[in-house]
């Protein structure tokens, strides 16, 4: 067995109103779309998405995949295609939601391959030009006939480049998400104006420090495959690999970046001549990926809070990230945030059991912790150089009434490195979504 264990997609949540853009500006040379093909049982929710590059046939692509040993069939197929093509000439992505095609044996591998073959064929691609993703329940074979007949329908009649087409595409990859996650922006490098658009899905089975969840972002900037892979790794480490909802790493996590060069300008590569342009676009893409990744935390299953864990003055970036991740994943910290309880002992406890590189990485007598309110009011110190502060409880409660909170941990090591990590609280609703769905 294995049923759909997720609540249905609700476009009209209040979060949707706040976080789904009403318009966007999209990169040149892409068409996208989404339809209902029959994977989702309600008979109407969008469950099949395609993104296609129309600017020549030679876009660059880079991808990172889950490190889970039980890699879903579409992950294995997409990995193979990236390996074969070295990221050159990837022109399409096909995604179904409602079924993850994971732990589905030999039939699952055939189904994933067939999805790429049909997409390549109908879009006139060379072979091995399409990446495939699936998301949803683990352990059931895909209703592959519905998908394979949905692909031509979608590819021939429902792809475009309007805001609504992008919303449809972002909606069609959702599962327990309560809103589609879509971000776009424009930036300029050396007088060349480029556009980035990104979409992702995810609300549960979200775990940090691994190869992320499901998403892709595309740009009309000209970037070589190797430069794009390097930029993708850097940006994903600081975005999708720096978020958590429940600490569970999925079997299907995939993030793809595509650059088709449709906006023109000089090619950005890994060589020294690209230096400044490389840094500039890496910075843009990293900030963009953070914006996108934060939407996943905003939509975390059952989440009522959005919390930034900021670790400062660490000996290394890895230590800072490990400590931030430890706090961000603590069930006790997350339930305290849900209960609006300034129980900072739980923060200290999670700092203390983080995996760090050396005995000097965390020195209790140098560690300070404070709440940084997002309304710009004064910080609230909780611990200063290892000694507990007398905390004004009324003020602490007031700070915790806010949906957003920054917890700042200063390690005082003199190392100067820092990392941010984003998490949500652990609520009754999380347990309901993941345990009680049948009642």
- The Cα–Cα gap between 397 and 376 comes to 16
* CA contacts within 13 A on the Cβ side of 103: 12
Give the tokens for residue 420.
């941010």
Q: Site residues for its own copies, window 89-108 (CB under 8 A)?
A: 100, 102-105
Residue with tokens 């030999």: 106
What's the closest the beta carbon of residue 409 comes to its own copies, in angstroms? 12
Q: Is 434 annotated as a binding residue?
A: yes
Residues 6+ apart with CB under 8 A from 290: 235, 238, 239, 242
Provide the pairing of β-strand 254-259 with 214-219: parallel
What's the closest the beta carbon of residue 59 comes to its own copies, in angstroms? 31
Q: Site residues for its own copies, window 259-298 (CB under 8 A)?
A: none
What's the closest the beta carbon of residue 194 comes to its own copies, in angstroms? 36
Q: Is 57 annotated as a binding residue?
A: no
Question: Is the Cβ of residue 120 or residue 410 nearer to its own copies in the bound state?
Answer: 410
**Residue 430, phi then psi, degrees to nearest 5:** -60, -45
Q: Is 58 annotated as a binding residue?
A: no
Residues 6+ apart with CB under 8 A from 101: 72, 73, 74, 108, 111, 112, 134, 141, 142
Q: Is 116 a catalytic residue?
A: no
Question: Is the Cβ of residue 139 or residue 160 nearer to its own copies in the bound state?
Answer: 139
Among 24, 247, 265, 415, binds its own copies (CB under 8 A): 247
Residue with tokens 């069609």: 172
- The Cα–Cα gap between 247 and 270 comes to 34
- The Cα–Cα gap between 28 and 43 comes to 33
Among 18, 22, 44, 69, binds its own copies (CB under 8 A): 69
Q: Site residues for its own copies, window 357-416 (CB under 8 A)?
A: 362, 364, 383, 386-388, 391, 393, 396
Among 120, 246, 313, 410, binds its own copies (CB under 8 A): 246
> Using the 8-state DSSP alphabet, how is residue 303 labeled?
-
Residue with tokens 């959005």: 306
Contact 199, 215 (CB under 8 A): yes
Q: Site residues for its own copies, window 128-147 (CB under 8 A)?
A: 137-140
Among 37, 183, 336, 409, binds its own copies (CB under 8 A): 336
What's the closest the beta carbon of residue 101 comes to its own copies, in angstroms? 11
Catalytic residue among 119, 135, 176, 212: 212
- Please, which contacts does 350-357 make with residues 24 or more away whose CB atoms are closer than 8 Å? 350/326, 351/323, 351/326, 351/327, 351/409, 353/326, 354/322, 354/323, 354/325, 354/326, 354/327, 355/322, 355/326, 356/319, 356/322, 356/323, 357/315, 357/316, 357/318, 357/319
Stretch that binds its own copies, among 21-29, 225-233, 260-268, 352-360 (CB under 8 A): 352-360
Angle, nearest 10°, between helix axes 345-352 and 317-329? 130
Question: Is the Cβ of residue 134 or residue 224 nearer to its own copies in the bound state?
Answer: 134
- The Cα–Cα gap between 91 and 55 comes to 9
Q: Decide: is 325 part of the binding site for its own copies (CB under 8 A).
A: no
- Least Cα distance to 370 among 379, 361, 362 occurs for 379
Among 48, 51, 324, 348, binds its own copies (CB under 8 A): 348
Q: Site residues for its own copies, window 197-236 (CB under 8 A)?
A: 204-205, 207, 210
Among 338, 371, 421, 422, binds its own copies (CB under 8 A): 338
What's the closest the beta carbon of residue 137 comes to its own copies, in angstroms? 7
Stretch that binds its own copies, among 49-57, 152-160, 170-178, 430-438 (CB under 8 A): 430-438
What's the closest the beta carbon of residue 315 comes to its own copies, in angstroms? 13
What's the closest the beta carbon of residue 251 comes to its own copies, in angstroms? 5
Interface with its own copies: number of residues (CB under 8 A) = 73
> Using the 8-state DSSP alphabet, how is residue 22 labeled?
S
Q: Decide: is 438 part of the binding site for its own copies (CB under 8 A).
A: yes
- The Cα–Cα gap between 429 and 435 comes to 10
Question: Is the Cβ of residue 93 or residue 112 nearer to its own copies in the bound state?
Answer: 112
Among 96, 260, 330, 413, binds its own copies (CB under 8 A): 330
Among 16, 148, 349, 374, binds its own copies (CB under 8 A): 349
Q: Give the annotated binding-site residues.
A: 175, 201, 212, 301, 434, 439
Residues carrying an active site annotation: 212
Q: Give the annotated binding-site residues for substrate.
A: 175, 201, 212, 301, 434, 439
């Amino acid at each position: 067995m294995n049923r759909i264990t997720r609540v249905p997609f609700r476009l009209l949540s209040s979060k949707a109103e706040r976080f789904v853009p009403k318009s966007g500006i999209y990169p040149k040379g892409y068409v996208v779309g989404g339809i209902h093909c029959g994977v989702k049982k309600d008979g109407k929710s969008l469950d099949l998405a395609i993104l296609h590059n129309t600017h020549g046939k030679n876009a660059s692509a880079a991808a990172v995949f889950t490190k889970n040993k039980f890699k879903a069939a579409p992950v294995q197929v997409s990995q193979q295609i990236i390996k074969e093509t070295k990221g050159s000439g990837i022109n399409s992505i096909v995604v179904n939601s409602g079924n993850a095609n994971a732990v589905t044996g030999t039939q699952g591998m055939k189904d994933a391959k067939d999805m790429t073959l049909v997409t390549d064929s109908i879009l006139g691609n060379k072979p091995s030009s399409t990446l495939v993703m699936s998301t949803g329940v683990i352990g059931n074979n895909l209703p592959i006939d519905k998908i394979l007949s949905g692909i031509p329908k979608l590819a021939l009649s429902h792809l475009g480049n309007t805001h609504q087409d992008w919303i449809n595409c972002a909606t069609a990859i959702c599962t327990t998400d309560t809103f589609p996650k879509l971000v776009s922006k424009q930036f300029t490098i050396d007088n060349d104006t480029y556009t980035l658009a990104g979409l992702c899905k995810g609300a549960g089975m979200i775990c940090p420090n691994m190869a992320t969840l499901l998403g892709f972002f595309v740009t009309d900037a000209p970037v070589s495959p190797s430069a794009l892979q390097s930029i993708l790794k850097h940006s994903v480490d600081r975005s999708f690999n720096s978020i958590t909802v429940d600490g569970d790493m999925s079997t299907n996590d995939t993030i793809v970046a595509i650059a088709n060069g449709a906006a023109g300008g000089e090619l950005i590569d890994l060589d020294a001549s690209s230096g400044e342009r490389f840094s500039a676009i890496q910075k843009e893409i990293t900030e963009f990926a953070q914006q996108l990744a934060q939407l996943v935390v905003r939509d975390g299953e059952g989440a009522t809070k959005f919390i930034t864990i900021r670790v400062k003055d660490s000996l290394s970036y890895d230590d800072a990230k490990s400590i931030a991740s430890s706090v961000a994943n603590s069930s006790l910290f997350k339930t305290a945030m849900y209960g609006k309880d300034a129980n900072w002992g739980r923060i200290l406890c999670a700092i203390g059991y983080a995996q760090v590189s050396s005995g000097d990485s965390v020195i209790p007598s140098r560690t300070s912790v404070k709440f940084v309110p997002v309304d710009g009011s004064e910080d609230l110190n909780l611990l200063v150089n290892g000694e507990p502060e007398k905390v004004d409880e009324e003020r602490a409660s007031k700070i915790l009434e806010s949906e957003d909170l920054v917890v700042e941990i200063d390690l005082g090591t003199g190392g100067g490195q820092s990392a941010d990590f984003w998490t949500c609280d652990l609520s009754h609703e999380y347990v309901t979504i993941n345990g009680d769905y049948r009642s």
